[in-house]
Amino acid sequence: MVQGVSEIAAMCVGLIGLIGAAATTGMPMWKVTAFIGENIIVMETRWEGLWMNCYRQANIRMQCKVYDSLLYLPSELQAARGLMCCSLGLSGLGLLVALAGMRCTSCIQNNEWAKTILLMVAGGMQLMACICVFIPVSWTGNVIIRDFYNPLLIDAQRRELGEALYIGWVTGAFLFASAMLFLCRRIPSEKGSFDVYQQANLLGYRPAPRKSTLMSYHPISSVSSLQSTAYHPSL
């Protein structure tokens, strides 16, 4: 009962992580314009994401433009694209594998060992998806903080942490929790490997009565028999 509830909880948490990873990948709010100084135009906000950058004027009109060239993008943005796509694939595939290994499904019936292995494989996929989310989000956040305190950059070039980064960190936490729920389980033994004695046989066990074994002793009948069988050399 407890394992069934943990499997359902892991699926729900993993589904939330998958939705969060998809939202983090598609949102353009990875880098936001930093309003510093008196010369910054606060009526215009610039957002930079993995696939496009957007301009919003006076909270009314927003225009987005997809990046023209992939090679023009910085290295952390290119790596973030690949890692976030990998996290989506791993998380989605892990949930499908976990669905086949759950107790409430009819896949692989009467094989508890195979179902447990499938759930552990799904947990490993969720853990790798968590790592693929944490790396680009933390890397991008580090670059933003480093450039923010860089004295060589002007105020218009500085950026702040966007909403997508915070959603990415929360998504990584959900994926990690789902992975732990899938991985923290006991692997059952194969059928017939350790079931040597049945419980009923152990309760109804009665020792067999011991039979005393007497060693038979055959005394030598007479000395004449020895003499008859003795060796007589020929004269």
Query: Is 205 contained in some domain?
Result: no
d(CA 182, CA 127): 10
CB-side neighbour CA atoms (13 Å) of 7: 21
| 8 Å CB contact between 130 and 172 | yes
Confidence grade of residue 196 (pLDDT, cut at 50, 70, 90):
very low
Average pLDDT rounded to a whole number, residues 32-52: 71
Residue type, 146: R
Q: What is the CATH number of the domain that holds 101?
A: 1.20.140.150
Sole residue written with tokens 């105020």: 155
The number of folded domains in the chain is: 1
| 8 Å CB contact between 168 and 42 | no
Query: Is 118 contained in some domain?
Result: yes
Q: What string of H, E and C letters represents the secondary structure of 7-36?
A: HHHHHHHHHHHHHHHHHHHHCCCCEEECCC
d(CA 25, CA 89): 12
Confidence (pTM): 0.71
Query: Is 61 contained in some domain?
Result: no
d(CA 80, CA 140): 8
Query: Is 147 contained in some domain?
Result: yes
Residue 225 has pLDDT above 80, yes or no: no
What domain range is 118 assigned to? 2-29+73-183
Residue 231 has pLDDT above 50, yes or no: no
Query: Is 195 contained in some domain?
Result: no
Average pLDDT across the chain, whole number:
76
Considering only residues 29 and 227, tell me which one the structure prediction assigns the higher pLDDT. Answer: 29
pLDDT tens-digit readout, 82-123 = 999 999 999 999 999 888 877 777 666 777 777 888 888 999
Beta strands in the chain (DSSP E): 31-33, 44-48, 52-57, 61-66, 159-161
Query: Is 208 contained in some domain?
Result: no
Query: Is 17 contained in some domain?
Result: yes
Query: Is 207 contained in some domain?
Result: no
Residue 192 has pLDDT above 50, yes or no: no
